[in-house]
Structure 1
Amino acid sequence: MSLHDELTATQRCLDDLARSVSRLEERIGTGLEIRRVRSDTEHLKESLSLLRAATPQEAPEPRVEMVTIPDQPYDSGLWTAASDMDDEGLGAKDRHAP
């Protein structure tokens, strides 16, 4: 999950919390405890807003270009063009491995 997605999910959770606190306030009334919870909720929302503003914007992920590889066999001339070419890991044709 990207940072932007995390911040957005956190914002949604805080919005849900604010709605829940409002419903509680309707049922309980406006006592000291519910005012503290509402105040804490508002502080969290402000803090998240400040965090979002301080967070650098993410650069979009680079697009990966798909390369199609043909099913036809490669030209065998690619592998036998140079007579003095060493075989990978085997050495030259006219020499023997120790």
Structure 2
Amino acid sequence: MSLHDDLRAAQRCLDELGRTVARLEGQVGGGPDIRRVRSDTDHLRESLALLRESVPDALPVKPREDVIVIPDAPYDATLWADAEDEGLGTRHGKAP
């Protein structure tokens, strides 16, 4: 998962937390405990917004040097001349 995916996932979780806290507030009333939870939720939302602003939009992607690209095109059959395919017999269909 990329950094931006993780930030979006955290935002979705905070949105759900905010909705849940609002439902709880409706059920238990507006006591000091629920106000503290709502305040903490708001602080988390603000902190995540600051974090999202500090993350660059486009992180540079460094190409991997250990990856070797192999083309999908078939290989030239003359590279093997009369070599046998291992375990499949010869090119002429006569197995040893």
TM-score class, shorter-chain normalisation, is 0.5 to 0.7
| TM-score for the superposition, normalised by structure 2 | 0.66
**What is the number of equivalent residue pairs in this alignment?**
75
Distance 1:66 1:46 in 2: 47
User: CA deviation digits over 1:33-90, x for unaligned, max 9?
Assistant: 100100000000000000000011234768xx873332431458xxxxxxxxxxxxxx
Q: In structure 2, what is the equivalent of residue 19 of structure 1? A: 19
Unpaired runs of at least 5, structure 1:
77-98
Q: How does 1:1-98 map to 2 (within 5 A)?
A: 1-59=1-59, 67-74=71-78
The sequence identity of aligned pairs, in percent, is 53
Which structure would you say has the larger RCO, counting Cα contacts within 8 Å and 6 or more residues apart? Answer: 1
- Matched AA of 2:73: I
User: CA deviation digits over 1:6-53, x for unaligned, max 9?
Assistant: 000000000010000000000000011100100000000000000000
RMSD: 2.5
- Matched AA of 2:25: E
Distance 2:70 2:35 in 1: 57
